Amino acid sequence: MDALIASYGDASSDDSDTDTPNPPPPQTSNSQASSTTLLPPPPLFLLEPPNSLGNMEYLQIGQAARVRTFPHVEGNYALHVYIPVYIPSTPKKDLALFLKKVASLVPSLHVVDVDVPLNSLCKDDQKLAQVALGREFHISLGRTVPIRVHQIDSVVAMLRQKLQFQRRYLIDFSKWEVFVNDDHTRTFLSMEVNTGGLAEITKQIQVVNEVYRLHNLPEFYKDPRPHISLAWALGDISDSLKRIVEEEMKRVNVRGSLQKCIFTSKFSGIECKIGQKTYKIGKVQDE
């Protein structure tokens, strides 16, 4: 398997937004070039180890169009500053039931990042919990923006200096919400932070804004609404999705299982991802 992958090259290195650009190929003579035959793209299943996410028959990764939020430019790297979040095991059952209902009414929803049709996972509770709820989520502290290679060290150093020590706190995800991206090409089903942890996250966003501003990068929204997104759909379907979410929340409330907080997560630190490299920002101190 390793030899096969090596013969085709690294399949993840074709996008300089998220990877280090490949060096230019060495010069070859005409005779050398004519004797070289390019390999065709390998079958996808050969590049996936057994039991991996990409080897599941219903994971149609890449079929839904991905849209860049900024144009690709050679030498640019995507910068994203965020709080990593994991959903505890206890609330996953109720969350899975909620997602199943919404997915049955909105079949165009896909799992965020993995790009799997959500309704295809609803046939298997274990897969739904694993793929849709068992991964790392992100509370964004700044816009995802392109930066040049010479800015990387400065951005990371300044973030670490200004966010050197952070107190641990609890983050309450207390509300289902629907968001639309700036150009209305995607709609997101999310869980919003509007109680516990909101003040701390808002302060962290302000610090990240300051670092962005000093590097001539676009700042975050004026009225930030911290959240994690679980699913997305192409286009602006916010009106219909909001109605479905509100109806389902009313139904859950009538059933008597609605809680003030959907789930609570402990703040575990801040990370900065530039291209494919992740940097830890600051240290977390317990009270």
Per-residue pLDDT tens digits for 162-176 = 999 999 999 999 999
Q: With 50 as the cut, is the pLDDT of residue 47 above it?
A: no
Task: Please state whether 186 falls in left (phi above 0), alpha (psi between -120 and 50) or beta.
Answer: beta
pLDDT at residue 121, rounded to an integer? 93
Decide if 84 contacts 137 (C-beta within 8 A). yes
| Gap between the Cα atoms of 69 and 184, Å rounded | 11
Choice between 38 and 45, residue whose per-residue pLDDT is larger: 38
CA dihedral 32, 37, 41, 47 (to 10 degrees): -70
Task: Work out the pLDDT band at 55, boundaries 50, 70, 90.
Answer: very low
For the stretch 122-161, pLDDT in tens is 989 889 999 999 999 999 999 999 999 999 999 999 999 9
Task: Work out the pLDDT band at 287, boundaries 50, 70, 90.
Answer: low
For the stretch 102-128, pLDDT in tens is 999 999 999 998 888 999 999 898 899
Query: What's this model's pTM, rounded to 2 decimal places?
Result: 0.74
pLDDT at residue 2, rounded to an integer? 46
Average pLDDT for 60-78: 58
Q: What is the percent of the chain with per-residue pLDDT over 70, rounded to a whole number?
A: 72
Q: Rounded to whole angstroms, what are the CA distances from 180 to 29, 173, 187, 224?
A: 52, 19, 4, 14
pLDDT at residue 115, rounded to an integer? 81
pLDDT at residue 44, rounded to an integer? 37
Helix (H) or strand (E) holding 126: helix 125-127
pLDDT at residue 72, rounded to an integer? 63
Task: Work out the pLDDT band at 70, boundaries 50, 70, 90.
Answer: low
Q: With 50 as the cut, is the pLDDT of residue 56 above it?
A: no
Please state, rounded to an integer, the average pLDDT across all residues of the chain: 80
Q: With 80 as the cut, is the pLDDT of residue 32 above it?
A: no
| Gap between the Cα atoms of 195 and 204, Å rounded | 16
Pairing relationship of beta strands 76-85 and 270-274 according to DSSP bridges: antiparallel
| Gap between the Cα atoms of 63 and 48, Å rounded | 17
